[in-house]
Amino acid sequence: MVMSVVRTSGRRVGLAAAVMALAVTAAGCSSSGSKTSTPQGLTGHQAKAFADKQISALDASAATVLRPKPGSYLAGKKTVTVLGSTTPANGDENPYAILPVTRTIGSERAGDVLVDNFNNRSNFQGTGTTIVDMHPKGSVSVFANLAGAKRSCPGGVGLTTAMVQLKTGWIIVGSLPSTDGVTTTAGRGCLLVVSPKGKLVKTISAPYLNGPWDATVKDDGDTATLFVDNTLVGLKHSPTATAHGGNVVRLTLKQTASSPPTVTAHTVIASGYGEAGDPTVFVKGPTGLLLGSNGTLYVADNVGNRVQKVPNALTRTTSAGVGTTLTSGGQLSDPLGMTFAPGGDLLVANARNGKIVEVTPSGEQVGEDYAIENTGQDPAGSGDLFDLAIDPYRHGVLFVKDDENTLALLH
């Protein structure tokens, strides 16, 4: 089912029946950079908490309005179209990674969008095994079910935001598994290699992989450079444990169209990021990864509420620590997934309030969009937004709605 919602006059107006009969409500934007007496998206007890100064400084800042500046990528985008459900027949939930397919190989068709699931039908985190294929005309099929890797991947299978497609057609997807949905039973996880026809062909597990959470790749054909961040390094198996061992590892790969990728070298290029077990979101740590054309790697530091820069990511031989800060605070609120907008700005997904934040390469926050304004959460939209991508036709921003288990397009 496809549903479009247009934002006008400070509210959203539904144009079609909502997916799964869910009502969609929203709050509008005020003038650029202005603050309202009650921040956007805060209602009921949340608004009272703000008035009573009980809301956190982070939530108060991120709940203010930053209207997209003229010329920014988010400027003028007022419509959200729900493209379809991401839940396959086996009931997997909690969509995480979004991978627009750019080349037709095997069952992978250019223009399709692959989405993986982190939870099973019982909503246990770290147990989802499916990658669904969202087709341009609205139909959905299962591209891969990777339950068969439960024995080869340390701890089982729970598919994460670490998903890339190589030019040779191979798909690499991360797994951070749990047996019952909590961090006390989390396994080290692995990277799973999937053929262009959706078949599991290889499991990559090694000491340098410990909670692979997100990934990005520079693909040169027969060789590729894959960056993966880890969120369990030094983190005790407790739902409330904390550590500062989160890192980014650079993997050098070799592969052909007939031979799956093999790791030929690995280097930790960044380290020391905060990690935290969380009974609600499973684990927090370094998440979104983007590689700039100048070799700078951008890291969404979730616990630090900032986006970090790691210089010379393709060539450095030692860790840069946590790198330097591109932007922090402001509209950011637990940043997770990231993507580049056409033109080079970064688009960052807020885990804590459902906003998409646009950041220039110089670090200026130039706009935000309340992509998911679920006022039933505290704060509004909390836990509903995870990954982002530019759609294959460059019409707008794809994002997952974890509260509805759907894929949507902001355009």
What share of residues in the chain are helix, strand, coil (percent, to 5)?
5, 45, 50
- Using only the alpha carbons of the chain, give its radius of gyration: 20
**Which contacts of 77-80 are long-range, i.e. CB under 8 A and separated by 24 or more positions?**
77/369, 77/396, 77/397, 77/410, 77/411, 78/6, 78/7, 78/8, 79/4, 79/5, 79/6, 79/7, 79/410, 79/411, 80/4, 80/5, 80/7, 80/12, 80/24, 80/371, 80/408, 80/409, 80/410
Tell me which of 20 and 353 has the higher pLDDT.
Answer: 353
What CA–CA distance (Å, rounded) separates 6 from 4?
A: 7
Confidence (pLDDT) at 46: 52
What CA–CA distance (Å, rounded) separates 242 from 258?
A: 42
**Which whole number is the average pLDDT over 239-265?**
95
When pLDDT is cut at 50, 70 and 90, the band that residue 19 belongs to is very low
Confidence (pLDDT) at 24: 31
What CA–CA distance (Å, rounded) separates 336 from 378?
A: 18
Give the sign of the dihedral formed by CA 255, CA 260, CA 265, CA 267.
positive
Give residue limits of the domains in the chain.
3-410
Burial class, 139, CB count within 10 angstroms (exposed 0-12 / middle 13-18 / buried 19+): exposed
User: What residues contact 106, with CB distance under 8 A and at least 6 apart?
Assistant: 169, 195, 196, 197, 198
What CA–CA distance (Å, rounded) separates 15 from 77?
A: 16
Q: Which two tokens stand for residue 158?
A: 């729970």
The candidate with the shortest Cα–Cα distance to 379, out of 7, 22, 43, is 43
The candidate with the shortest Cα–Cα distance to 186, out of 288, 281, 304, is 281
- Assess contact for 2 and 84: CB atoms under 8 A: yes
The helix (run of H) or strand (run of E) holding residue 97 is strand 93-100
pLDDT in tens, 287-305: 999 999 999 999 999 999 9
When pLDDT is cut at 50, 70 and 90, the band that residue 239 belongs to is confident
Confidence (pLDDT) at 51: 59
Mean of pLDDT over the chain: 87
pTM of the predicted protein model: 0.88
According to CATH, what is the number of the domain 3-410? 2.120.10.30
Confidence (pLDDT) at 60: 77
